[in-house]
Chain A
């Protein structure tokens, strides 16, 4: 009788498959590493917008937050939207992996790829003079993991409810919108009401928390809680409305 491999083995296989798929995808590499790198260099060396000195200390954690959105949100939304279009989600859903295993595998692959992103972006930032507070490295890592979980949920929400082409457009558009909502620029530097609102939205929460951890060594508990809450709401909506076929 045919029997399923152990759950951990199935999920590990899917994680590896998803991670290598991301690595082989040139466009994904562009949006996940090259664009954040460009943002890192441009914001560090341009005089605008006005930021506390040294600029790299403000910019680097924001760029790490931007990379979260690139891979966990834009990249995953587009990949999952097209997997849905081509029936990949349905096929994997009827294998022993199942739908739950597929989602866990995707999330772990994003976390794995993010480690690579963070190593590259963090390494370049260090070369450019970034000196994060050492006591802030752990809370920074926790912040970024909370961000990955929240933004993967948002990615699944739009990937499971829109046509693949619409996912492509919306995920890219939102990357730009999120960029301006406190990811790389502190919400306090944004104009009045926009900044006040952005401070409570996922991109602002993620960006501000990353900076608070890296610059001051803070433990931004409230931001983590709110990020996870946003993620839970998105996951709940995705669970209710996700359509497995296009």
Chain B
């Protein structure tokens, strides 16, 4: 367990969160928590509200109603001390296109007093082979790995990883899973969004299933899958009305 959160106080708290974009309600009263030292997978289809929820937790979006707290702090407008403790992997990467992957990571590491040695992160994620290649020339999977490294380089207490294995080949996916579970073992609260049941089953201690902006199930993976496999539970809870059984 991280020294910065107590067992009674989860590292991440989403309470009755609501976020609306024009006519679209992206998140509609979602509530869940995530604890230090555990991997929480937020599982849902496209448009379920996963990324919007994460953006509220990262301080990139301001909730319209409800509250979110990370390490006991409201992320909206939170200062550099807070941001130093939170690692973020954006779905679109957010990497400067013209610069080499290694340059980007070294640059980001300069924002912290005690960053991870960049070479170690590069080696762990297999980035060293293309560290001198400009981001724009990297494959989708290579960019994913650099974006993940960007989230880790500041030694975060909480890591928000938005679809960290999307587009990765099986070996790279396995590498990422190892990194994620290792982070949790070191006491980090890791929140991962995913479409993949396999991923959730392989790495998550806790699962939050979202559908149409609402949380339709949440709990430990073990508790949720006592009576049926995760995939079956997911489809039962999220199947659009009127669509036949699979």
Binding site for B on A (CB under 8 A): 1-5, 7, 9-10, 13-14, 17, 21, 24-25, 82-83, 86-98, 244-245
Question: Contact at B107–A13, with CB atoms within 8 Å?
Answer: yes
**CB of B22 closer than 8 Å to a CB of A:** no
Excluding A2-B156, A82-B97, A87-B94, 17 further A-B contacts by CB distance (< 8 Å) are A1-B3, A2-B114, A3-B112, A10-B111, A21-B99, A24-B99, A86-B94, A87-B90, A89-B94, A91-B90, A94-B58, A94-B83, A96-B80, A96-B84, A96-B112, A98-B80, A98-B83
What CA separation (Å) do A97 and B155 show in the bound complex? 15
Distance of A140 Cα from B232 Cα, bound (Å): 72
CB of A88 within 8 A of CB of B113, answer: no
Closest to B150 in A: A91
Q: A13-B111, A91-B88 are in contact. Are A21 and B59 (CB under 8 A)?
A: no
Q: Which residue of B lies closest to A86 (CB)?
A: B97
B70 to chain A, nearest CB (A): 11
Tell me which residues across on chain A come within 8 A of B112, comparing CB atoms.
2-5, 96
Please tell me if B154 contacts chain A, counting CB pairs below 8 Å.
yes
**Nearest-neighbor residue (CB-CB) of B81 within chain A:** A4
Judged by a CB distance under 8 angstroms, whether B108 is at the interface is: yes
20 inter-chain pairs at a CB distance below 8 angstroms, sorted by A residue, are A1-B157, A2-B85, A2-B113, A4-B80, A4-B111, A14-B107, A17-B103, A17-B107, A21-B96, A86-B94, A91-B90, A91-B95, A93-B60, A95-B83, A95-B108, A95-B154, A96-B80, A96-B83, A96-B111, A244-B60
Shortest distance between the CB of B26 and any CB in chain A (Å): 13
Closest Cβ of chain A: how far from B121's Cβ, in Å?
Answer: 14
- Could you tell me if B90 and A90 are in contact, using CB atoms closer than 8 angstroms? yes
**Chain B residues with CB under 8 A of A89:** 94
A5 to B80, CA, bound (A): 9
Determine if B86 and A94 form an interchain contact, defined as CB atoms under 8 angstroms apart.
yes
* Chain B residues whose C-beta falls within 8 Å of the C-beta of A90 in the assembled complex: 60, 90, 94
In the complex where A2-B155, A96-B83 touch, is A88 in contact with B95 (Cβ < 8 A)? Answer: yes
Quick check: A88 and B94 within 8 Å, CB to CB? Answer: yes
Q: Flag if B92 contacts A5 (CB, 8 Å).
A: no
What 9 A-B pairs are tightest by C-beta distance, nearest first? A91-B94, A87-B94, A13-B110, A4-B84, A4-B80, A96-B80, A87-B92, A96-B111, A96-B84
Interface string of B148-181 (1 = CB under 8 A from A): 0010001111000000000000000000000000
